[in-house]
Amino acid sequence: MRSYDPGKIGCYAGWRRYEGNPVIDERIGEVSDAVVLEENGKYKMYYSHRFLKKILLAAGENGLDFRPYAEGAVTDEDVDTKAYIVGDHFYADGGDYGYTLTRRPELGWEAAVCQPYVIKKDGGYHLFYTGKHFDLLQEKYDRSVIAHAVSRNGQNWKPRNTPVLEGDQLWEKDMTSYPCVMWDNEEQLFKMWYSGGDIEKPSAIGYAVSRDGDHWEKPFRGPVFEKDGTTLEKERAGACHVIKEDGWYYMFYTAWQDEYKSRICAARSRDGVTCWERHPANPLVTWGQFGAWDVESVCRPFVLHEQGRWLCYYTGSARGQNRIGVLLHDGEDLGFGGAL
C-alpha cells in the first residue's frame, strides 16, 4: 500500500512542498514575490506586502524557516508575542517589521513598490523592483515600470528618482514588471528578463541588457518567451526567474490556463532568449490539497540551487489571500532529459 504524502499533491518531476509551509503567513499580512539571497550560510528573503505597498525583508538560517527582519532577526518568541500587534496595527503605522524599501508616491510612478529582485555584485547590492502608478479617477493601477536601487548592506537602499525600464513596445501595453536580473561576468552585462502586458497577470516575457544597471536596451522588438497555446498556457505566461547552470539558462515561470488558474512550469535555452525547450513534465507544480493555503493557484517562482538540492520559493493563493511557501527538489537533475 502506498503511503499518503500531502506534500506531493500537485507536484511532479521530483518536487514536493515543504512541510512547514507557508513560511511567510497571515501574521505579516498578504505577501508575495519572494526573492532569496544566501550569504555565508545566512538567508535573506525580500518580498512584497500588498496592503503596505512596500518591500519587506525576512531572515533565516536554513533557507526554509524565516523571521521578519528588524535590527537582525527577531526570535520565534517575539513573533508569537507580537503576532496580534502585527495583525492589528501593521497596516496603520508599519511598525518595525523589516521594511527595506518604502514607496515614494510623490514621484507619481511609485504609488506602490513590489516584485523585488536582488543581486550582489562587487561587494554591493542591486535591487530591481516594480513601481506602479495609481489612477485616482479609475481607482486602479494603470501603469508599471521597473526601477533600480543600490545598497552597501542589502537593507538600506538608495533608489533612483526615475525608472530604468518602461513599456515602449506594443506588446508591453505600457507595463513592465517582474524583473529578473543576472550579472554575466563573461559578457560584462546585466541581463534582465521581465514581464509585459497586464499589470497583475502579464502576458509574455521580454529581455533587456545593460552595462551599468541604469541604462537598458531591448535587443528584440517582441517578447522572447510567450504562451504556447496549449490548455496549460492558454491565457498567458510570465513572472519568471532565470538562472544559468552548466551552459543552460533555466527559466521557471508562471503559466495561466485562464484568469484564475496558474501553475509553475520550467523551460531551458542555450542562449537565454531563443529556442526554449519546455520541461516534459510541465506543470512542475499545481495547486495544493483541498483546503490548503495554496489550493487556488501557485505562481511567481524563484529558484535557489544548492549542493544536492533545489529550492523554489513561490506565491500561493486561497480565498484570494496570498502567502509564500517553499518547494524542494532533491538531487541535481531537474529531469529535462538529453541535450537539444
pLDDT digits (tens, 9 = 90+) for 170-212: 999 999 999 999 999 999 999 999 999 988 778 999 999 999 9
- Give yes or no for a contact between 5 and 16, defined as CB atoms under 8 angstroms apart: yes
Q: What is the pLDDT of residue 4?
A: 60
Whether 168 shows a pLDDT value over 80: the answer reads yes
**Hey, what's the cell of 62?**
536554513
Q: Return the residue matching grid coordinates 495554496.
A: 294
Query: What is the Cα–Cα distance from 190 to 150, expressed in whole angstroms?
Result: 14
Cis peptide upstream of residue 22 (ω within 30 degrees of 0):
yes
Q: What is the pLDDT of residue 79?
A: 40
Query: What is the Cα–Cα distance from 302 to 63, expressed in whole angstroms?
Result: 12
Q: What is the pLDDT of residue 98?
A: 65
Query: What is the Cα–Cα distance from 275 to 96, expressed in whole angstroms?
Result: 46
Query: What is the Cα–Cα distance from 297 to 264, expressed in whole angstroms?
Result: 9
Query: Among 340, 328, 326, 207, which Cα is nearest to 278's?
Result: 340
Angle at the Cα of 190 from the Cα atoms of 48 and 252, rounded to 5 degrees: 55
Query: What is the Cα–Cα distance from 234 to 257, expressed in whole angstroms?
Result: 5
Query: What is the Cα–Cα distance from 255 to 205, expressed in whole angstroms?
Result: 11
Q: What is the pLDDT of residues 200-258, one digit of tens each?
A: 778 999 999 999 999 999 999 999 999 999 999 999 999 999 999 999 999 999 999 98
Q: What are phi and psi of 7, to 5 degrees?
A: -70, -15
DSSP state string for 99-167: EEE---GGGSS-SEEEEEEEEEETTEEEEEEEEEEEETTTTEEEEEEEEEEEESSSSS-EE-SS-SB--
- Give yes or no for a contact between 110 and 130, defined as CB atoms under 8 angstroms apart: no
Whether 89 shows a pLDDT value over 90: the answer reads no
Domains delineated in the chain? 9-330 (2.115.10.20)
Q: What is the pLDDT of residues 51-84, one digit of tens each?
A: 889 999 998 889 999 887 654 444 444 443 333 3
Helix/strand/coil percent split, the chain, to 5: 10, 50, 45
Higher pLDDT, 325 or 90: 325
Strand partners, 128: 117, 148
Question: Measured between alpha carbons, how far is residue 98 from residues 8, 132, 301 in Å?
Answer: 32, 21, 22
Q: Return the residue matching grid coordinates 510623490.
A: 106
- Give yes or no for a contact between 104 and 53, defined as CB atoms under 8 angstroms apart: no
Say what the pTM is: 0.90
Helix, strand or coil, per DSSP, at residue 17: strand
Query: What is the Cα–Cα distance from 164 to 80, expressed in whole angstroms?
Result: 40
